[in-house]
């Protein structure tokens, strides 16, 4: 689809030697600077993510988790599960939480799990990089120590969480300034976080998991009743992960296996393959309805089965089986919304980005605190905001994703790669908590079924479901809204923009990289 240049919008960014697409321009620049200094896509990815942990602290941080996928020409895909586990200290158990009266983890202290991000950063550098952490973290340290101007979307999000940050002494100390959020354009610094990053840069990832940093985190949460202990940090390790995939109309879509929810996107694409999307208006009610119903079915599969891989009870291969998808597709009524289990509310509290280098190594990378500013618990010494990923555990007895000591919760963050003829065709992802599988399916179908370019696929209006309501972005046409209502959807408009997508497509025939970046964020794609 060609762009109408008389209308507002972005063009795809096209370059030859390297490309980065992130949610913040300083992170995109850090990645490109790293590539031009002789680093590869892995080095650039760590430079970008560390920078994002400084300049988008509400979205991500070193106290969170990380997943990545890497494609190298002529080599099998590699992936990494950098998610942390629940504490295994004395008394840690599902029964103990029930005895505390908890029916859900929510924002209790038990939502804090061991942060897996730093280990995952070290892992990608060890496996694929040319630089060490010292060099890769340099841009982030510069911004944390010397200051950076707050971007518009960052400022807009930040001021909505002042009260919650003020409730924690560490968060108030490091992330409020005279008790208020910074304004757009304010130059701010994080000296404690800079010192922490310097320690990690000098001593390596284990300095995060052993020694003063781990001790400080453990002490911070122990006073509040957490099961986390220093020993949980010391024994933490991420895991290499073999990607799972399905073929959608000739393109192999690769995701990471559980405990992530990438499987959900594959189930959804398998369902949609049974329908002629090309015949439907890409922004019309018919497409929106069909995709919503496919999503609700796929999320019902997720919420029933996905858990820590060691606790899964149904084989992944059975869940992404095409025959299984056909039985799910048969449940869809094209005329009206069906009664199905509801998924949790969507959000957008993560950073996703992608980098491709001159040798066509493609890195699909995602890092998260889960909620905005994570748990909003911050250590006073280190300036580290801690994840609340443990909130994704269920308290439903007997469920594979029920809380347990030393167990990983279901994870929403999912990087993706699209492969064709054994080569990477596209590296992409959509941040946005529960929304992410829906976002992956929307991008893939927009490009394959409607011929959209990478930027058009990102720009289109987003829609999802929240309980019994169908939630659409404000750019959705009145005709589409009315068409959804006639199909029994209770339509409301989203209070905030959803998610943020980044995509890089590799045009092997012409030798160029084509990237798109989400206008819902402050970021951009940069290439050279």
Q: What are phi and psi of 91, to 5 degrees?
A: 85, 0
Q: Is 283 in contact with 445 (CB distance < 8 Å)?
A: no
Q: Which of 293, 391, 306 is nearest to 342 (CA)?
A: 293
Give the pLDDT of residue 343. Answer: 43
Q: Which of 158, 129, 146 is nearest to 48 (CA)?
A: 129
| Residue 345 pLDDT > 50 | no
Lowest mean pLDDT among 120-134, 254-268, 332-346: 332-346
In sign, the C-alpha dihedral spanning 240, 37, 61, 434 is negative
Residue 71 makes CB contacts below 8 A (sequence gap 6+) with 77, 361, 362, 417, 419, 423, 424, 427
Give the pLDDT of residue 8. Answer: 87
Q: Which of 347, 371, 384 is nearest to 462 (CA)?
A: 347
Give the pLDDT of residue 176. Answer: 98
Alpha-carbon distance 372 to 150, whole Å?
16
| Residue 346 pLDDT > 60 | no
pLDDT in tens, 318-330: 999 999 999 999 9
Alpha-carbon distance 179 to 447, whole Å?
46
Active-site positions read 350
pLDDT in tens, 67-90: 999 999 999 999 999 999 999 988
Give the pLDDT of residue 341. Answer: 55
Half-sphere exposure of 183 (CA within 13 A, CB side): 1
Q: Is 38 in contact with 46 (CB distance < 8 Å)?
A: no
pLDDT in tens, 397-418: 999 999 999 999 999 999 999 9
Give the pLDDT of residue 350. Answer: 83
Averaged pLDDT of the chain = 95
Give the pLDDT of residue 3. Answer: 83
State the DSSP code for 20: E
The Cβ of residue 412 has, within 10 Å, a number of other Cβ atoms equal to 27
| Residue 342 pLDDT > 60 | no
Alpha-carbon distance 378 to 165, whole Å?
9
Residue 377: alpha-carbon gap to chain centroid: 20
Alpha-carbon dihedral angle through residues 427, 432, 437, 440, given to the nearest 10 degrees? -30
Give the predicted TM-score (pTM) of the model.
0.95
Alpha-carbon distance 245 to 255, whole Å?
6
| Residue 347 pLDDT > 60 | no
Residue 4 makes CB contacts below 8 A (sequence gap 6+) with none
Structure tokens at 189: 């610094």
SS3 350: strand
Alpha-carbon distance 268 to 299, whole Å?
8
Q: Hey, which residues does 152 pair with through a beta bridge?
A: none
Give the pLDDT of residue 348. Answer: 47
pLDDT in tens, 190-230: 999 999 999 999 999 999 999 999 999 999 999 999 999 99
pLDDT in tens, 6-17: 888 899 999 999
Half-sphere exposure of 319 (CA within 13 A, CB side): 27
Residue whose token pair is 């399905």: 246
Give the pLDDT of residue 51. Answer: 98
Residue whose token pair is 């599969």: 301
Give the pLDDT of residue 433. Answer: 87
String of b and e for 14-51 (b: at least 16 CB within 10 Å)? ebebbbbbbbbbbbbbbbbbbbeeebbbbbbbbbbbbb
Give the pLDDT of residue 89. Answer: 86
Largest pairwise CA distance in the chain: 64
Alpha-carbon distance 44 to 31, whole Å?
4
Give the pLDDT of residue 349. Answer: 62
Angle ∠(292,298,299) on CA atoms, nearest 5: 90
Break the chain into its structural domains and give their ranges: 24-240+349-392
Residues 418-446: what's their mean pLDDT?
A: 96
| Residue 512 pLDDT > 60 | yes
């Amino acid at each position: 689809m060609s762009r109408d240049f008389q209308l507002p919008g972005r063009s795809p960014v096209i370059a030859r030697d390297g490309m980065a697409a992130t949610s913040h321009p300083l992170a995109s620049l850090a990645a490109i600077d790293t590539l031009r200094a002789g680093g590869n896509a892995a080095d650039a990815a760590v430079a970008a993510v560390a920078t994002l942990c400084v300049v988008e602290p509400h979205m991500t941080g070193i106290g969170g988790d990380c997943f990545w996928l890497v494609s190298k020409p002529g080599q099998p895909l590699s992936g990494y599960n950098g998610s942390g586990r629940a504490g295994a200290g004395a008394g840690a158990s599902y029964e103990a939480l029930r005895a505390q009266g908890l029916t859900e983890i929510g924002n209790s202290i038990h939502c804090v799990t061991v942060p897996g991000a730093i280990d995952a950063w070290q892992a990608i550098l060890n496996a694929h990089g040319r630089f060490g952490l010292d060099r890769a973290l340099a841009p982030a340290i510069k911004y944390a120590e010397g200051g950076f101007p707050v971007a518009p979307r960052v400022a807009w999000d930040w001021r909505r969480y002042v009260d919650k940050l003020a409730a924690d002494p560490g968060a108030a100390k490091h992330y409020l300034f005279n008790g208020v959020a910074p304004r757009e354009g304010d130059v701010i610094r994080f000296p404690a976080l800079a010192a922490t990053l310097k320690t990690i840069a000098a001593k390596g990832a284990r300095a995060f998991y052993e020694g003063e940093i781990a001790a400080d985190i453990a002490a911070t949460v122990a006073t509040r009743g957490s099961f986390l202990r220093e020993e949980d940090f010391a024994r933490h390790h991420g895991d290499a992960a073999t990607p799972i995939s399905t073929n959608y109309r000739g393109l192999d879509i690769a995701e990471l296996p559980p405990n992530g929810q990438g499987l959900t996107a594959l189930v959804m694409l398998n369902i949609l393959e049974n329908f002629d999307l090309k015949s439907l208006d890409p922004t019309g009610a018919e497409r929106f309805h069909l995709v919503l119903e496919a999503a609700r079915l796929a999320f019902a599969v997720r919420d029933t089965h996905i858990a820590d891989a060691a606790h899964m009870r149904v084989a992944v291969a059975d869940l992404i089986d095409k025959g299984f998808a056909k039985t799910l597709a048969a449940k869809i009524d094209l005329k009206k919304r069906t009664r199905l289990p509801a998924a949790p509310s969507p959000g957008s509290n993560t950073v996703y980005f992608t980098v491709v280098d001159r040798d066509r190594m493609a890195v699909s990378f995602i890092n998260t605190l889960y909620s905005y500013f994570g748990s909003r618990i911050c250590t006073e010494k280190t300036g580290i905001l801690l994840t609340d990923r443990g909130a994704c555990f269920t308290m439903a007895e007997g469920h594979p994703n029920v809380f347990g000591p030393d167990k990983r919760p279901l994870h929403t963050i999912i990087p993706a790669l699209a492969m064709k003829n054994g080569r990477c065709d596209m590296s992409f992802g959509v941040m946005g908590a529960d929304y992410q599988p829906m976002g992956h399916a929307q991008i893939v179908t927009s490009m394959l079924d409607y011929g959209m370019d990478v930027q058009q696929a990102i720009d289109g209006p987003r829609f999802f479901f929240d309980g019994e309501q169908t939630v659409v972005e404000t750019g959705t046409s009145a005709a589409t809204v009315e068409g959804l209502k006639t199909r029994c959807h209770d339509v409301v408009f989203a209070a905030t923009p959803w998610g943020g997508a980044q995509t890089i497509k590799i045009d092997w025939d012409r030798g160029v990289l084509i990237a798109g970046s989400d206008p819902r964020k402050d970021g951009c794609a940069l290439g050279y």
